[in-house]
Structure 1
Amino acid sequence: MAVFTPVALDEVNAWLCQHYNLGTATDIKGISSGIENSNFFLTTNKDGQTTEYVLTLFERLSREQLPYYLELMGHLAQKGIPVPAPARDKTEQIIGILNGKPATIVSKLSGSSRLSPNADHCAAVGAMLAKMHLAGQDFKLSQPNLRSLNWWQATIPLVKQHLNAAQNSLIDSELADQTAFFASKDYQALPAGPSHCDLFRDNVLFDSSSGKDQLGGFFDFYFAGNDKWLFDVAVTVNDWCIDLGTGVLDQARYDGLVNAYQSVRPFEKTEIASWNLMLRAAALRFWVSRLWDYYLPREAEMLTPHDPKHFERILIQRRDVISCISSV
């Protein structure tokens, strides 16, 4: 989340007055984390009651693409999964136009991110991720993960000029392996459905108001898509269960997340067999996207691109060290 398109308080108030029944905006504050959309904490007052929301202006996604993400969040929220619920306007729409960009308002979850998680945090995330996958099975809309194989194949040629010989060899080799993997019968047989596809530490909140860390919810679904559930787990493991300096998996956090996930939805045999290739696929996806953001940046207020070398290290680790999972 960043700020590419500024929004002033009087601008958002005029928009709210015309389209919503949420009251008057009393404060709007840009959110600095993330790199895709313009995001703001929005505070409103209606009949003396203060409510906090998140306002998002979409910079890359079209208005036609947005219903999938927003309706998925609404579907999951109705199923009891702790995710932001989109606010509907006076005509029951969940997408509007603000300052020339598609825009939406969603509820603000409680809590804060745990950027140094322990095994218990990872277990909570793993169990809720499995519940989210099952809750999304009857979601009516379908859209592929837009940052999957086709996007890697189109984007890698754009960044290769910025890589050295060893990096080019690595990225070419991994793309060839993943192209073959995606074409395989094993890959086609993997269970799939709506997936978050970006469940990093900063996209999950924990609430400690009760005196104990409790999962507050998952947010930022704007990379979501119908994909293999195993890919969603691999993306999550590659962030939550590693040493950030080296990319090496932390066994206690890894076991906590994977075992908790399987306590809700046990892995199938094809998933167990495909696990290491999927960990590599998840690493490649984010190496490519970080290379793209780093070398082909867009101008934005408060934007700091992530270091692409982080996921290069993770990919090398996953290629060098075979990680296993077992059925429960």
Structure 2
Amino acid sequence: MSVYTRLDDSELASLLDEYDLRLESAQAAPHGIENSTWLIQARDRYQYPRAVVLTVFERFSEATLSPYLTLLSTLAQGGLPVPAPLLDRAGRSLRKVAGKPAVLVPRLPGQHCFRPDSEHCRQVGALLAALHRQPSAPARTLPDERARLAGFAEHLCRLGDDDRRHARRLLQHWRKVPPGEVLIHGDLFRDNALFNDSGRLTGVLDFYNACLERPEYDLAVALNDWAVSAEGRPVPRREAALLAGYREADGVYEPAVLELALAVAALRFWLSRLIGPVSGDAEGQGSKDPAEYSRIFGYRFEALSQRYDV
């Protein structure tokens, strides 16, 4: 992730000391756009190496973050490969760094896979099925994705005439689909998953778009990243693998709703990137390219319009 808040080694060392950790090295994480994140190598009180990740939140308040941290702890206890927040000496999972809320978590093993094959996609589908079976209670106080989408839709004026007209018709159809009560990740892109050298899924990151929604929407978000070509064109082999992994892990979805959700999710991330944070002070990736999701939306809407009146 990009770094907007700057911290020197002495500040990082002071924070780590509150967790009985000694700083060895730190670097800005190279992927993501919303928060400031450091990949840190440290040693614990017994001199064993510990890899941890510090995230300083640029847009969340402490009150907003609290239910997400509870969710992460619950999911970790449920056996999912997620980074539950570490506690400092005082038993706190949430700290203040440079006047902003911050969380320290263990660094899960593995690396991002930016050239996924069918097996990577199958495992992502299986992970989503496991997530969708988790209790929904921890997510009941989280923001509503439909409301978030409505907020993004206020920026449809940024689109061209044809795309704006298509988007409005699409959202009219989506509003007729009843919201779901399933816990979803909402942002399972390739830079939010980790795989080891054997190609096994070892971690899922960044649950700060988690909420209750239909499983088809979560599948659509994942498919639009894991199962498209560099040009944004859907790759049927990878799509089939992800959905097969989901079904094999007892996931259930409605194909007609998924087809609609694919276009809606593409529109959502196109709009969020158009209005996303861009900072000249950032170290790292900065804002992602909106044009990528403009192309994906075009393909998804075209496929949808061939079967439905949208």
Q: Does TM, normalized by the shorter one, top 0.5?
A: yes
What is the distance in 2 between the residues matched to 1:172 and 1:140? 33
**Identity %, equivalent residues:** 32
Tell me the residue number matched to 2:113: 114
Tell me the residue number matched to 1:181: 174
Equivalent position SS for 2:63: coil
One-letter amino acid of the counterpart of residue 103, structure 1:
A
Tell me the residue number matched to 1:13: 13
CA contact (8 A) 2:181 2:213 kept: yes
Residue 144 of structure 1 and its aligned partner are, at CA, apart by: 2.4
Decide whether aligned partners of structure 1 residues 154 and 95 sit closer, same or farther in structure 2, where only a CA change above 3 A counts: farther
Residue 138 of structure 1 and its aligned partner are, at CA, apart by: 4.6
Decide whether aligned partners of structure 1 residues 50 and 219 sit closer, same or farther in structure 2, where only a CA change above 3 A counts: same
One-letter amino acid of the counterpart of residue 92, structure 1:
G
Residue 51 of structure 1 and its aligned partner are, at CA, apart by: 0.1
Residues 1:200 and 2:189 are matched in the alignment: yes
Residues 1:317 and 2:299 are matched in the alignment: yes
Tell me the residue number matched to 1:39: 37
What is the distance in 2 between the residues matched to 1:148 and 1:42? 33
Alignment of 1:1-328 (within 5 A): 1-17=1-17, 20-46=18-44, 47-139=46-138, 141-145=140-144, 148-157=148-157, 160=158, 163=159, 167-182=160-175, 184=176, 187-188=177-178, 191-208=180-197, 212-245=198-231, 247-268=232-253, 271-293=254-276, 297-299=278-280, 300-322=282-304
Residue 213 of structure 1 and its aligned partner are, at CA, apart by: 1.4
Matched positions, count: 303
Equivalent position SS for 2:59: coil
Residue 4 of structure 1 and its aligned partner are, at CA, apart by: 0.1
More displaced 10-residue stretch of structure 1: 167-176 or 117-126: 167-176
Equivalent position SS for 1:25: strand
What is the distance in 2 between the residues matched to 1:88 and 1:175? 46
What is the distance in 2 between the residues matched to 1:145 and 1:34? 22
Give the TM-score normalised by the residue count of structure 2. 0.91
One-letter amino acid of the counterpart of residue 173, structure 1:
H
One-letter amino acid of the counterpart of residue 206, structure 1:
F
More displaced 10-residue stretch of structure 1: 71-80 or 85-94: 85-94
Equivalent position SS for 2:112: coil
Decide whether aligned partners of structure 1 residues 120 and 303 sit closer, same or farther in structure 2, where only a CA change above 3 A counts: closer
CA contact (8 A) 1:142 1:226 kept: no
What is the distance in 2 between the residues matched to 1:172 and 1:6? 42
One-letter amino acid of the counterpart of residue 143, structure 1:
L
Give the TM-score normalised by the residue count of structure 1. 0.86
Deviations 1:234-278 (A, max 9, x none): 000011011121x2221111111001101223425xx32212110
The runs of 4+ residues in structure 1 deviating greater than 6 Å are none
CA contact (8 A) 1:149 1:179 kept: no
Instruction: Give structure 1 stretches of 5+ with no counterpart.
Output: none
More displaced 10-residue stretch of structure 1: 199-208 or 148-157: 148-157
What is the distance in 2 between the residues matched to 1:123 and 1:277? 22
What is the distance in 1 between the residues matched to 2:156 and 2:9? 40
CA contact (8 A) 1:75 1:136 kept: no
CA contact (8 A) 2:193 2:203 kept: yes
What is the distance in 1 between the residues matched to 2:296 and 2:212? 24
